[in-house]
């Protein structure tokens, strides 16, 4: 058992999978950079990868649901925080080929990409299978495909060991299974309780402030703040949509039939997507600029100072403001524009 654990936790299995996919290193004489307790240390360059051609050629039925899955941000928070509590390093290079450098300073256990790739498709499957009429087997296959491909991609890029990925999937499966019976109650609270906006705004901020202390700066705290803040904004948007009666009343009881695919439907889908992306992009640029300027002025630092942005008193507030607002814009503002345009 110990040998099996060492194997799935070690880098050799990752390197073997990469070689199977046609990936190898140009040079293997430089050791990989390891996590350093010194704040602000930059990751050392990793050997340049060389690509080769592969060897082989050739029962949730609540009619008032707003369509949100509230548990996914918490799943991501648990994953990100676990990395900085466990402090397990990512696979070293060599023997592993590192195809990403942005998050290399983060720790590896568990894989939050694998967690997201498990939580999102399976949560949508569980939330929709009794609400809409479609083959559940097809939805299950699609969810499994997304989970498998994303998980394998984290091994292919050399960012996680096999154990990191397996633990990420297992932890998420446990969390989704345990929380599933409470989804309707949580969403009812989000829509109808007068204290829901206060909780939606305060909980992400507290979780971000009291994120596990970092022994060196990485993108983990900032990315986690983005995720939970966007989730809080989405929860606030759910309350706004219900309280302002912006959620269309159902004309029948679930399960609802899926609309037939037509040119008009495809046009509306593309138009809604394009307009939504434009609104969110513009909103992000404006809100981020205003929030960063305001927070830096309060903190007494320059918004142009990249190192100052890594400070807790700067990084958390400006990301919290930006992505909380974006959650509201995405789930309340964009649908309002779509309704106004009859889309």
Strands 132-133 and 256-257: parallel
Q: Which of 80-84, 137-141, 263-267 has the lowest mean pLDDT?
A: 80-84
DSSP state of 87: -
Q: Could you tell me if 75 and 128 are in contact, meaning their C-beta atoms sit under 8 angstroms apart?
A: no
What is the residue-averaged pLDDT of the chain? Answer: 84
Q: Which of 213-217, 225-229, 296-300, 319-323 has the lowest mean pLDDT?
A: 213-217
Structure tokens belonging to residue 187: 């969403």
Q: Could you tell me if 178 and 77 are in contact, meaning their C-beta atoms sit under 8 angstroms apart?
A: no
pLDDT cut 90: percent of the chain above it: 49
pLDDT of residue 27: 56
Q: Which of 7-11, 152-156, 194-198, 280-284 has the lowest mean pLDDT?
A: 7-11
Catalytic residue list contains 160: yes
pLDDT of residue 164: 92
Instruction: Compute the residue count for the chain.
Output: 343
Structure tokens belonging to residue 39: 């704040």
Q: Could you tell me if 107 and 35 are in contact, meaning their C-beta atoms sit under 8 angstroms apart?
A: yes
Mean of the pLDDT values across residues 85-104? 84
Q: Of residues 252 and 185, which shows the higher confidence score?
A: 185
Q: List the catalytic residue out of 52, 60, 160, 194.
A: 160
Q: List the catalytic residue out of 113, 194, 216, 338.
A: 113
pLDDT at 46 over 70: no
Structure tokens belonging to residue 210: 């009291």
How far is C-alpha 30 from the chain's CA centre? 33
pLDDT of residue 71: 65
pLDDT at 36 over 50: no
Mean of the pLDDT values across residues 240-268? 86
User: In three state form, how does the secondary structure of 165-211 look?
Assistant: HHHHHHHHHHHHHHHHHHHHHHHHHHHHCCCHHHHHHHHHHHHHHCC
DSSP state of 109: S
Tell me: the pLDDT tens digits for 170-190? 999 999 999 999 999 998 999
Q: Which residue has the tokens 């060897």?
A: 55
The backbone torsions φ and ψ at residue 133, rounded to the nearest 5 degrees and listed phi first, read -90, 105
**Single pTM value for the model:** 0.78
Task: List the beta strands (DSSP E) in 222-298.
Answer: 256-257
Q: Could you tell me if 229 and 206 are in contact, meaning their C-beta atoms sit under 8 angstroms apart?
A: no
pLDDT of residue 333: 93
pLDDT of residue 31: 47
Half-sphere exposure of 116 (CA within 13 A, CB side): 11
Q: Of residues 280 and 5, which shows the higher confidence score?
A: 280
Rg for the chain, CA atoms, rounded: 22
Q: Could you tell me if 222 and 315 are in contact, meaning their C-beta atoms sit under 8 angstroms apart?
A: yes
Rounded CA gap, 15 and 52, in Å?
A: 14
pLDDT of residue 69: 53
Mean of the pLDDT values across residues 195-199? 93
pLDDT of residue 25: 74
Rounded CA gap, 159 and 175, in Å?
A: 23
- pLDDT band, residue 70 (cuts 50/70/90): low
């Amino acid at each position: 058992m110990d040998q099996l654990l060492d194997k799935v936790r070690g880098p050799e299995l990752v390197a073997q999978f990469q070689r199977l996919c046609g990936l190898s290193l140009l040079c293997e004489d430089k050791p990989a950079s390891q996590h350093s307790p010194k704040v602000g240390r930059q990751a050392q360059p990793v050997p340049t990868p060389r690509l080769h051609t592969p060897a082989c050629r050739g029962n949730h039925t609540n009619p008032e649901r707003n369509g949100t899955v509230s548990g996914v941000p918490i799943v991501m928070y648990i994953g990100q925080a676990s990395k900085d509590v466990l402090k397990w390093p990512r696979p070293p290079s060599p023997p592993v080929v590192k195809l990403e450098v942005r998050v290399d300073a983060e720790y590896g256990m568990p894989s939050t990409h694998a967690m997201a790739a498990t939580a999102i498709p399976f949560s949508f499957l569980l939330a929709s299978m009794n609400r809409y009429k479609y083959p559940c087997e097809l939805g299950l296959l699609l969810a499994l495909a997304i989970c498998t491909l994303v998980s394998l991609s984290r091994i292919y890029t050399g960012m996680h060991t096999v154990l990191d990925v397996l633990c990420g999937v297992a932890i998420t499966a446990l969390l989704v299974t345990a929380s599933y019976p409470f989804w309707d109650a949580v969403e009812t609270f989000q829509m109808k309780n007068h204290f829901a906006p206060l909780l939606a705004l305060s909980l992400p901020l507290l979780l971000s402030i009291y994120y596990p202390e970092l022994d060196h700066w990485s993108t983990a705290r900032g990315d986690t703040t983005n995720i939970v803040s966007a989730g809080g904004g989405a929860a606030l948007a759910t309350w706004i949509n219900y309280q302002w009666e912006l959620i269309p009343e159902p004309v029948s009881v679930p399960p609802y039939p899926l609309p037939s695919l037509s040119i008009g439907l495809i046009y509306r889908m593309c138009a809604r997507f394009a307009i939504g992306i434009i609104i969110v992009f513009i909103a992000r640029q404006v809100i981020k600029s205003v929030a960063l300027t305001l927070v830096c002025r309060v903190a007494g630092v320059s918004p142009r100072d990249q190192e100052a942005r890594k400070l807790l008193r700067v990084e958390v507030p400006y990301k919290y403001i930006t992505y909380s607002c974006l959650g509201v814009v995405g789930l309340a503002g964009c649908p309002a524009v779509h309704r106004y345009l009859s889309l």
